[in-house]
A and B are shown apart, each in its own frame.
Chain A
Amino acid sequence: MVTVRLAVMSETVEPILEDAVQWQNRFISENLRRIFLLIYRMIGNVADAQDLTQEVFIKALQRREQLKDQDKATHWLSRIATNTAIDHMRRHGRVSFCEIEGLPAPLASPASESPEQLVLRAERQAALEDGLQTLTARERAALVLRDVDGLPAEEVARHLNCSKATVRSHIANARVKFRRYLTRRKP
């Protein structure tokens, strides 16, 4: 049995591993926030969104070898995220918001924001999140992908695995409901 010393291993193995590791790290860092926010806006719960986001990346990266075109990895990741979130919503129904006050880490605000900006930001976030909760799972997914993430309608249809006509119907219903919600919310 040959004992391989750590130093020798480092010289021969690391350059090969480094490319794969770098690609993986870059893939995660470039997509993590977007995917988390996509899932969060669909399911409305921070803790669950965290879990699902991790699950999505693991699923995607475990099949990385199957990706022929790595540029399409981003799109493929979004599809996995959407499906995962929709599956979750089906299993759990409407998910209530997590109690932000219960999060372990203390609140940390960016140094550049004034207290007024912080309050406004929190209010806008609350309006968006509450409004999304008035929608069905499919409507929510369609609206988040179309209006929040800015995907073309054809792409939204591919994500949701439905026809363009169906997705248009979801988008329309979602916008109408959302607009009515915002109208009610105004003082």
Chain B
Amino acid sequence: MFTRSRWIALALGGVLTAWAQEAPPSSLKVNLPADSPVGLVSAGWGESRTEARGGALVLDLHTALVLRNVSQQHIRGVSLLVLAQEVTPGGKASVAVPSLDVRPNETFPIRIDLRLLRPLLTGAGPYAEVSLDGVLFDNLSFYGPDRLSSRRSMTVWELEARRDRRYFKSVLEARGPAALQQEIIDAFARISERPRLDVQVIRGGRATAMASSQERECRLAFLQIPDSPLEPVSGLARVAGAEARAPSIEVRNRSSRAIRYFEIGWVIRDRQGHEYLAGSSPGGDSGLRLAPGATGRVSEDGAFKFSRPNGPQVAIEGMTAFVSQVEFADGAVWIPTRAAMDDPRLRSALAPSPEEQRLADVYRRRGLTALINELKKF
């Protein structure tokens, strides 16, 4: 028999659950500072919806902003912070658009397709606020509060874009359109050969149920990249079945500049010898300074768990690490060169850059001529 309070809760829940509706247009607020290099042309609620679930409001945002480049430079990337609330998980999100080519005074859209949570009763005001986290210009200068480390991310994406466009253009010039077409198809094939893995990262209070008897220490192997400023020296992880826990790695700065940030990429090998790109791990954040020649050890107390969408469970046999990205103390960034990606293991380990993904999509939708014309723009 339900208690009275339960009936009330049910009734309220029923009313609120039925309240899956569109919200008035003023429910999305866009904040741009007065000196912002982008101006707002239009914004709206679009096809967004809200739905009450228990004590929370779920915002399904599906809309597009139209911005104008009001600066005097070409814009290469924009990053937005979308905030419903900062109290509970899932209230904060970001949307970044790299590989842009927006001239002064041009307009461009940014789509927002996100789901956010906010407590049901937080008073008046918009459901979500959109603010600018950063704009990257053609000369790699940056504007914005950079709360989400957008400057580093967008710089990496822009460098990757330039690297990959240069490469495709060189293929076109040296070997013609058929070779370019082959490269793009290889890009698809390169990714398609890699099986998909679902992943969970579990950190802190919720320990995984890994039997200590099954757990073993796994010494990490490394893919060395010749011109990498950072060298992985040694590493360990504890592995059992499809879980890997507490990886740690020792790295050495072999460049002549201090390093303040880096990312290490991981490849997992299963018992059948198949290799999967498992991910990459950022080392260091605010305050890191790895001096030239210095070594240091980074470790993590979380666990990551892999599963296949279809097929047998993953059983981790070994792990390989490689340096995927380095940021120096002076703000310069290093990424692997295209030549380094001649190593077939590294090429299959590295994810395609956003620009490679975009160019492949240009080819897929509009054909080879359109791809060639796109490359000629830069």
Contacts and interface: CB of A to CB of B under 8 A. Distances in A.
A9 B176 contact: yes
B224 to A, nearest CB: 33
B16 interface: no
A4 B175 CA distance: 8
A29 to B, nearest CB: 14
A106 interface: yes
Interface in A1-27: 3-4, 6, 9
Interface in B173-191: 173-174, 176-177
A4 B176 contact: yes
B172 A3 contact: no
B62 A3 contact: no
A6 B173 contact: yes
B167 to A, nearest CB: 17
A106 B60 CA distance: 13
Interface in A92-108: 106
Given A106-B47, A106-B62, A3 B177 contact: no
A154 B189 CA distance: 43
A178 B336 CA distance: 62
Interface string B51-87: 0000000000010000000000000000000000000
A3 B174 CA distance: 7
Contacts of A4: 176
Contacts of B47: 106
A4 B172 CA distance: 11
Interface residues of A, number: 5
Given A106-B47, A106-B62, A6 B174 contact: no
Nearest to B172: A6
Contacts of B174: 3
Interface in B139-188: 172-174, 176-177
A6 B62 contact: no
A71 B172 CA distance: 37
B62 A9 contact: no
Nearest to A21: B367
A39 to B, nearest CB: 22
A6 B177 CA distance: 8
Nearest to B180: A6
B256 to A, nearest CB: 39
Nearest to B62: A106
B248 to A, nearest CB: 40
Nearest to B47: A106
A47 B121 CA distance: 40
A113 B173 CA distance: 50
Nearest to A3: B174
A54 to B, nearest CB: 12
Interface string A104-135: 00100000000000000000000000000000
Contacts of A106: 47, 62
A93 B166 CA distance: 50
Most chain A CB atoms below 10 A, which of B172, B173, B176, B372: B176
Contacts of A6: 172-173, 176-177, 372
Most chain B CB atoms below 10 A, which of A6, A9, A106: A6
Nearest to A107: B47
Nearest to B113: A104
A6 B373 CA distance: 12
B293 to A, nearest CB: 45
A9 B173 CA distance: 12
A164 B228 CA distance: 72
Contacts of A9: 176-177
Contacts of B372: 6
Interface string B282-314: 000000000000000000000000000000000
Contacts of B177: 6, 9
A4 B177 CA distance: 11
B125 to A, nearest CB: 27
A3 B173 CA distance: 9
A6 B349 CA distance: 33
A3 B179 CA distance: 13
A129 B261 CA distance: 57
B53 to A, nearest CB: 17
B269 to A, nearest CB: 31
Contacts of B173: 6
A106 B111 CA distance: 13
A9 B172 CA distance: 12
B62 to A, nearest CB: 7
A3 B176 CA distance: 9
11 contacts: A3-B174, A4-B176, A6-B172, A6-B173, A6-B176, A6-B177, A6-B372, A9-B176, A9-B177, A106-B47, A106-B62
Given A6-B176, A106-B47, 9 more contacts: A3-B174, A4-B176, A6-B172, A6-B173, A6-B177, A6-B372, A9-B176, A9-B177, A106-B62
Interface of B: 47, 62, 172-174, 176-177, 372
Nearest first, the 10 A-B pairs at minimum CB distance are A106-B47, A9-B176, A4-B176, A6-B176, A106-B62, A6-B172, A6-B177, A9-B177, A6-B173, A3-B174
